[in-house]
Structure 1
């Protein structure tokens, strides 16, 4: 809507300073002509905004002009208060800062939007770690976060899975990522990814590094995820699934994309697997709802397990065990 776009232009200029019409158009995903019309509308409404011509030109607000958050919608106010993660913020040493910021934002909200913000805080709580993990102890996380923020070089002792397990590294930390309750630091050289809970010792140098201007943390992490999944599923299995039985993740997508349903209602599909050992454990959970046709090694492994289970449960249990 135009009203929301006008507020967006105002806030962009307030937070970023001078911006060209082309930059505003790209940010808002509209045409430059639309930006021109919106700027005229803001000027007509009394907003002290003016533009400079030329190569270094653009639009900007008169110095000192600030707007309150009166442009927030109810949905935006709810999303803002849903976005805060108090647990991770506390781990970063920012728990008090986050609480203070939320209070200030709430005070700046129009009165009619405050109940929406309070409602979202009272009805939704985000808990990042999984059920079956206690969560990692990350006592060095605040120090790593400080180095990320201030572009400070770190000397660390890091524990990895292969020999030698404990190694010394000089890191230039670019950013932190929280994934499934676990903190990772992305750092040069490389860059590479390190688990923060596996940093055993840490010393912050006085040395300051220059973070690459074109480094995109979100883009890097997305590429890491794609590479991880590509490396994870290097083999495949040919399976038959009983009616109503569904696989999850990459295997489920493979069934949806390439599965063939036979007249008996069973679905035949090629699915990616991590390894014979991993697939053996995963497929056994489906019991008689899945038949592995290939690879032969996986089919034979499951057959042996089924034989052992039949032998174990083939005789009645001893009543004395009750």
Structure 2
């Protein structure tokens, strides 16, 4: 583990004007002689480092604290730290990561980073319950990808046990997903033709295996994820309806449907909007609450679904608005 320790020592030196062997030993939780040997090893490796004896001395990088061995500019360092704050506000791992990033930054950047940590608060949307922390399963999958290991888990109504090569871990909203594929028989390489997406919260008994597994040459995780998202959005927009919408309701209705809403004809009093969902029934459920500000023009299948939904409401609650309890 000495290589990890040397990297930490280098980052600490970069973030401070000077560092004594005793201070480094305390930071790395090693003995002072070990810390001194680490400093000498960095010097022998060609790191621009020199010892300054005497009171107030210590080991320094040539150029002082202004030397930025990460290559980060001020805005880049700030953006990186802000992302850490946003993504893992209270977890122990995120706290340790933020502390290490602060130590690694040059002094001029460190002040801004510490200010961000002290003044940035991340919470749920108004009226929403507090979000759950990142599941341990997501971290396990990420580590399995890093280690190029197969993973095993139970999935589906029949709870079949699957062994796959994890390839992409992603999040949409509050849900985490895994894109994975079985390995080609007799190899460690994932069969991209059998790539599938799994919801992490539906997995059972997830564990990393000793067997190795890796992506095929040329596999691009970002492109695979984007293709999956495009396909899923297309499925969610399989059914469409043309709706006449009052002017004041156009913007909120389009916001509600997101990418599945498109203004066809904009008018002063009413506009014609095309909306999409995965089925006629789903469209009816989403549009019912917009009546009478939004009126479906076509197709008839959606108006029938709305009528059926209205009949169910009347049957349940009665024409006088009194609930019928069964």
Q: What is the match of residue 68 of structure 1? A: 68
Q: What is the match of residue 150 of structure 2? A: 153
TM-score by length of structure 1 reads 0.62
CA distance in 1, matches of 2:226, 2:266: 34
Q: Note if contact 1:151-1:210 (Cα within 8 Å) is conserved in structure 2.
A: yes
What pairs up with 1:158-307 in 2 under 5 angstroms? Answer: 158=155, 160=156, 164-189=157-182, 190-246=194-250, 247-248=253-254, 251=257, 256=262, 258-262=263-267, 265-303=269-307, 305=309
Deviation at 1:304, TM superposition (A): 5.5
Q: Note if contact 2:89-2:122 (Cα within 8 Å) is conserved in structure 1.
A: no
Cα pair distance change 1:85/1:210, threshold 3 Å: same
CA distance in 1, matches of 2:134, 2:106: 40
Deviation at 1:222, TM superposition (A): 1.1
Q: Which of these residues, 107, 128, 132, is aligned with residue 131 of structure 1? A: 128
Unaligned stretches of 5+ in structure 2? 1-44, 49-66, 183-193
Deviation at 1:146, TM superposition (A): 2.9
Q: Note if contact 2:168-2:225 (Cα within 8 Å) is conserved in structure 1.
A: no
Q: What is the match of residue 4 of structure 1? A: none
Q: What is the match of residue 111 of structure 1? A: 107
CA distance in 2, matches of 1:80, 1:200: 34
What pairs up with 1:71-90 in 2 under 5 angstroms? Answer: 72-84=72-84
Q: What is the match of residue 189 of structure 2? A: none
Q: Note if contact 1:77-1:116 (Cα within 8 Å) is conserved in structure 2.
A: no
Deviation at 1:265, TM superposition (A): 1.9
Deviation at 1:139, TM superposition (A): 4.8
CA distance in 2, matches of 1:228, 1:133: 27
Q: Note if contact 2:237-2:276 (Cα within 8 Å) is conserved in structure 1.
A: yes
RMSD: 3.8
- Count the aligned residue pairs: 246
Unaligned stretches of 5+ in structure 1? 1-62
